[in-house]
Structure 1
Amino acid sequence: MKKILFASTALVATAGVASAQDLGVALTGGAEMGIFGGDFYGTNNDDAQFLTDLEVRFTLSGEADNGLTFGATIDLDEANANGVHENEALQGGEAVFVSFGGATFSMGDVDGAYDARLAEMALAGGSLQDDETTHAGFDDQDGFFSNTFVSGLDGNEDGQIARFDYTFDAFTGSFSIEQDNQGQGDDNVYGVGFSYDGELAGINLGVGIGYQTQNDVANSTGISVTGAFSNGLSAGVLFTQTDFDPSGLENQRHFGIGVGYEVNALSMGLNYGKFNDYQGIDGREASGYGLAVSYDLGGGLAAQLGYSHSNIDGGGLGDVDFDSYSLGLSMSF
């Protein structure tokens, strides 16, 4: 009797999954287990710590009678802030879109046009703690992060962004707006960007330019170029400049370079970056490098290693050096 019950339960569950997929509902996720450590996580704290993490994502999709497609995604690990997900005026980890032909309009937890069209210099590999993208010299164009400042202004208000993209052949143009946070009187954040992704002389070439501005805060300008070769090598460069509006602050400039290599199940990437007049402080520099190595074990399981080193000095604020590392298994479902 129990065997019949279990079989029936499994049948119902399987039918439910199939029905959900037919309705345009997909469930994906990831998990991590391993160790991490380094000065990045606390002063003189190099001891290795256990690491576990879990992410769950729902993806919804549909198509109207006229061919317009629509959908939404939500990351459950980003939707647990106190009351944020229940407040329609705030972004709680969800993104919603409608698309027709080459045009797409998205709202919610999406990148601004500046970030969307520029490339990051982490070109291959990955790590459990994103060591390769969290060092002091890395510019992810994603706006304010903790007490540091990279280029871009995403998240300077409520984090809810509206972006329009139009793609024609290998070219994509984007425009975005992030409104002031709950009517606090700040100006909106505006962004615009263009990119080209195509093949040129046997190289998969990517070129991006972007501009983002908020009155009385700052404006950022950037350009990126990446190339992927048939032998598994890839390389890229990134230049950005952030002009701060408040008096007494210098223009922050950034240069980044990245290389990657992929062969069979192995992928690895190394990047370096440096900010001059970091955070608008004259003479202050922030630099760092990051390494990421992944080995695909098949079925969504990968072994990953990451390491980064950072240095911040000058500007009369003293010198700081710190590093981070992580090692373990990454799982995709």
Structure 2
Amino acid sequence: MKSEGKTMKKILFASTALVATAGVAAADVTFGGYGRFGLRYAEQPAGSTASDTFLESRFRLNIDGTAETDGGVQFSARVRMQADDNGALNTAGTAGLNGARFTTQYEGFRVDVGNIAGVIDNLPNYYGFEPGLSAFTGQYTGVDYAFDAYSSTGAGVNGVFAQYAFGDFAVSASFSPEETGAGEQYGISAQYSGANWAVALGYSENDPIGAGADSSDMLVLTASATFGAFTGVIFVGDESSDLDPTGANFDTFYGLSVNYEVGAATDVMFSYGDGSATNDTQSFGLGVVQDLGGGVSLRGGIGQNDTAGVDQMVGDLGVQFNF
């Protein structure tokens, strides 16, 4: 599953800090991330000069700094460096640092500021299982609402995200201010995790300032369950926009994704996404991940997108290595 906060193996880079008084925890700086490369296929429309087949690549490096007070309050900051290919243009991209995210945590309470992921981006199982090396599709393809999301290559929304976890429950809220006409956005969510199942509900609303501004909102529910080697996710919600009263783009959306562990080193996954709006994208995909050991895996998938009656075959195959 894809998520900005997904746990990755981290390598300790520097651990000892000079402190003025005894008993203060040491500050740490850690580096972690992954690289991937392979071939990707995306069927181009008739008359297009873009290539159907091109090199797929990404380099991602997270830089995390943490410190902790005598009382157990943890402070941390993250920046990310990421370079991606330029898709069907078949050119390489360059890497640069994104906007910083700052975090304060104490027991079950957490606050993020800066380049945040909002409540929808943080919602458990929102992304489900995404087939392919590049996660070229997912259960969410029917969604059109632009929620606050962590930016890997830009400055981000400069907002606030807060979460309080108690036992198997957690509640969250997020807010980002008006930015160059994009509107202020706020959201709330709640989640519960059982022994082999989980459910989460999130709501977000965007309110631009000014006459004729396009207010929009989104409500989404996710549910997951695991039975032995099989894990399934159900995804459903509704969205609306003041400038789309007929529901051409904003309406009900739904999807599902599943993962099956064929063996100790092989996973097979499937996803399906759609919506009831006229211009929603219906998409499905099938993918395989083969663990090669040492944080290296062979990944690939094939699928199809259908938007307003126009079909597109997609697929990829390559290697990902975590560090």
* Same topology, TM > 0.5: yes
Q: How far 1:243 sits from its partner (Å)?
A: 1.2
Q: Does 1:255 align with 2:254?
A: yes
TM-score for both structures, normalised by structure 1: 0.75
Q: How far 1:31 sits from its partner (Å)?
A: 1.1
Name stretches of at least 5 consecutive residues in structure 2 with no aligned partner. 1-11, 18-25, 84-92, 208-213
State the match for 1:115 in structure 2. Answer: 121
Confirm or deny: 8 A CA contact 1:151 1:240 kept in the other structure: no
Partners of 2:64 and 2:157 in 1: CA distance: 20
**1:282-301 equivalence runs, <5 A:** 283-301=278-296
Partners of 1:53 and 1:308 in 2: CA distance: 21
Q: How far 1:122 sits from its partner (Å)?
A: 3.0
TM-score for both structures, normalised by structure 2: 0.77
Distance 1:224 1:297, change over 3 A: same
Distance 1:94 1:307, change over 3 A: farther
Partners of 2:144 and 2:251 in 1: CA distance: 9
Q: Paired residue for 1:210, among 202, 205, 211?
A: 202
Confirm or deny: 8 A CA contact 1:118 1:223 kept in the other structure: no
Q: How far 1:94 sits from its partner (Å)?
A: 2.4
State the match for 2:147 in structure 1. Answer: 153
More off after superposition, 166-175 vs 156-165:
156-165
Q: How far 1:45 sits from its partner (Å)?
A: 5.6
State the match for 2:9 in structure 1. Answer: none
Q: Does 1:222 align with 2:220?
A: yes
What is the DSSP-based 3-state SS (H/G/I as helix, E as strand, rest coil) of the residue aligned with 2:137?
helix
Distance 1:126 1:271, change over 3 A: closer
Partners of 1:247 and 1:150 in 2: CA distance: 11
State the match for 1:245 in structure 2. Answer: 242
Distance 1:237 1:326, change over 3 A: same
What is the DSSP-based 3-state SS (H/G/I as helix, E as strand, rest coil) of the residue aligned with 1:310?
strand
**1:306-317 equivalence runs, <5 A:** 306-313=301-308
State the match for 1:274 in structure 2. Answer: 274
Q: How far 1:153 sits from its partner (Å)?
A: 2.2
Confirm or deny: 8 A CA contact 1:190 1:212 kept in the other structure: yes
Partners of 1:69 and 1:99 in 2: CA distance: 5
**Cα deviations across residues 137-180 of structure 1 (Å, max 9, x unaligned)?**
x417xxxxxxx953452269962231010000010100000111
Partners of 2:220 and 2:57 in 1: CA distance: 35
What code does the residue aligned with 1:50 have? Answer: L
Confirm or deny: 8 A CA contact 2:118 2:149 kept in the other structure: no
Identity of aligned residues (%): 20
Q: How many residues align?
A: 281
What is the DSSP-based 3-state SS (H/G/I as helix, E as strand, rest coil) of the residue aligned with 2:122?
helix
**Cα deviations across residues 97-146 of structure 1 (Å, max 9, x unaligned)?**
001111100023332113322523533x753221233xxxx417xxxxxx
Q: Does 1:96 align with 2:102?
A: yes
What code does the residue aligned with 2:233 have? Answer: G
Confirm or deny: 8 A CA contact 2:117 2:149 kept in the other structure: no
What is the DSSP-based 3-state SS (H/G/I as helix, E as strand, rest coil) of the residue aligned with 1:322?
strand
Partners of 1:110 and 1:214 in 2: CA distance: 16
Distance 1:254 1:59, change over 3 A: same
State the match for 2:56 in structure 1. Answer: 51
Distance 1:95 1:310, change over 3 A: same
